[in-house]
Amino acid sequence: MLQEHLSKTSKLEVINTGVSGLRAKHHLATFQKIIGLHPDLVIFLVGINDWNWHIKEAFSEDNPGTKIAAYRRANFLLKETLIGKFLVKFLVVDKSLNNTAKYEVPSIREEYGEYYSKQRDSLSRANVFSFHPEDVHQNYKKHLLEISNTCHENNIKCLFITQPTGYQNDANEEFKKGFWMTPPNEPYTLDFESMVDIAFLYNSFLVRFSMNNDHYACDAASVLAPTFENFYDDCHFNTKGAKNMSMIVGKCIEGFQTSRPN
């Protein structure tokens, strides 16, 4: 969609090297891998995976003083034991064999969205915590700086895009019931106010970082409305949202062609 939008005024090729679930450190590794393609512009959409890692670290059972550690000690979870992790990862039921256990992970799977749907309405989880960090995680800063240095060392223009999400004060209650990443895969949730603050913290930091390090910034998060018109959950775009996002990013790129970053 981005290439289609840009091709109206420019002749170019857009190569997608994005992978879901990655953090800044993984984007750095990908960037180092694609330098051989000699890109004129590299686009980074970063944020939510890094702040979810930040949340999970802060509430980890390895931090014995946290409320979630106390919860985990009081509520023994089989899936977190060694045998539980083994069963979750390796035990696959093959229906063609009368539901007998088959110890291998299939190379192809049928996806019905159950990973997302079973976690929806995460803000209603029984254990609700508040978390308002004063700064982004130090590892996030470190890897962004390494990305920035790689941009400059290879004379590549880099564009950093803020993370659009539904964590905005004008999100309605029906839309918020579709959330599952507050954070994902946990028996607890942060309250909505915490998610709004964390999203703003990371996005505003990214804009400042881009400008302070002579890179382009595209603040898509402040433009894309938190509705089912754009998202099907906390942050993933539906078809219309992807089209709107491509237009936002395209306009940013078109504007950069006639100006330099601050």
**What CATH number has the domain bearing residue 45?**
3.40.50.1110
Domain membership of residue 95 (yes or no) is yes
Instruction: Give the pLDDT of residue 61.
Output: 72
Mean pLDDT score, 61-90:
56
Mean pLDDT score, 19-33:
94
Domain membership of residue 85 (yes or no) is no
Neighbours of 71 (CB within 10 A): 17
User: Rounded to an integer, what distance in angstroms lies between the CA atom of residue 58 and that of residue 124?
Assistant: 20
User: Rounded to an integer, what distance in angstroms lies between the CA atom of residue 168 and that of residue 221?
Assistant: 9
pLDDT band at 244 (very low <50, low <70, confident <90, very high): very high
Domain membership of residue 71 (yes or no) is no
Domain membership of residue 75 (yes or no) is no
Mean pLDDT score, 178-204:
97
Task: Indicate the number of domains in the chain.
Answer: 1
Domain membership of residue 74 (yes or no) is no
Mean pLDDT score, 204-227:
96
Contact 215, 187 (CB under 8 A): no
Domain membership of residue 72 (yes or no) is no
Q: How high does pLDDT run on average in the chain?
A: 86
Contact 171, 226 (CB under 8 A): yes
Domain membership of residue 29 (yes or no) is yes
Burial of 162 (C-beta count, 10 Å sphere; 0-12/13-18/19+): buried
Answer yes or no: pTM beyond 0.85: no
Where do the H-state alpha helices sit in the chain? 2-6, 24-34, 48-58, 67-74, 82-90, 114-117, 138-153, 173-176, 192-212, 239-256
Contact 203, 219 (CB under 8 A): yes
Look up the domain containing 25 and give its range: 2-59+91-256
Say which amino acid occupies 70. A
Domain membership of residue 84 (yes or no) is no
DSSP 166-225: S-STT--HHHHTT---SSTTSSEEE-HHHHHHHHHHHHHHHHHHHHHTT-EEE-GGGTS-
